[in-house]
Amino acid sequence: MMILHHGWRSSASRRVRLCLEEKNLAYESHVVDMARLEHHSPEYLKINPNGVIPTLIHDGRPLHESGTICEYLDETYPDPPLRPESPYERALMRNWIRHIDGLIGNLIIFNWRHHLAKTASQWSDEELAEKLKNIPSKERQEAWLRAARKPYTEEERDAARAKLVQLLDRIEDALKPSGWLVGNAYSIADIAAVPFVKRIDEEIAPDQVTAKKHPRVTDWWNNIQARPAFTRAKIGPFLDS
């Protein structure tokens, strides 16, 4: 029995849903309403003391971190495989996951603008302080404080956009040998990049995911979106139409 606590727009949640669907694994979906701060509730913190999503519960035991969850699923349910066979290429896969995870702050700059920033700006100082108490990470407390009291500037968004375009440059180069990020097949490295490329293509820098600017990324992205698991994982628009 698997239960996935997740959010539809959460990048990390999208990775895990995609991995589950590639494996054709059944799971029970529990959507965590981040707008209502359910990920900071005492009930949720009992299963994930970091107060983030997703959390996968398998046979009553919780797992955190999307990259770790995806590897766990591939080890536990190895068919079809989502990791390269050789230790070296598996190491490269993990380096890709780590590199992409390191860019999450650049994505968050855009997230705040669309969702929680307006709500947070209306909180009184007392309300904000009370909500910050429930956030277990000091770094994330500072991010919430920043969003509530000093919204990101257009210059900061431009800088974040440039770093995300550099990710496309790096992916473009890596795809040259086989059309996949690592080795000769689709892997968790590709899954890790999917939510980022989705946001870049949809909203942040759509002029970059084109045959002219990044042809190999464009082909890779089209191939991934054509996979049945992509549809089943419901990786829809981040922004409401």
CATH of 87-227, one of 1.20.1050.10, 3.30.1700.10, 3.40.630.10, 1.25.50.10: 1.20.1050.10
CA dist 73 → 4, 15, 50 (Å):
12, 12, 21
CA distance 117 to 112: 5
Q: Exposure pattern of 34-68 as b/e (b: 16+ CB <10 Å)?
A: beebbbbeeebeebbeebbbbbbbbeeeebbbbbe
- Residue 208: what pLDDT? 97
CA distance 120 to 34: 12
Ranges of CATH 1.20.1050.10 domains, the chain: 87-227
- Residue 139: what pLDDT? 80
What is the mean pLDDT of each successive set of 10 residues along the chain, which is 241 residues long? 95 98 98 88 94 96 97 98 97 98 90 70 81 81 80 91 98 98 97 97 95 97 98 89 53
- Residue 114: what pLDDT? 65
Please give the CATH number for the structural domain made up of 2-76. Answer: 3.40.30.10
HSE-CB at 29 with a 13 A cutoff on CA atoms is 14
For strand 28-31 and strand 2-6, is the pairing parallel, antiparallel, or unpaired? parallel
CA distance 52 to 223: 30
**Residue in 82, 62, 65 with CA at minimum distance from that of residue 21:** 82
Torsion angle of alpha carbons 89, 24, 199, 13, nearest 10°?
A: -90
Q: Give all strands of the β-sheet with 28-31 in edge-to-edge order.
A: 28-31, 2-6, 55-58, 61-64
Ranges of CATH 3.40.30.10 domains, the chain: 2-76
- Residue 113: what pLDDT? 67
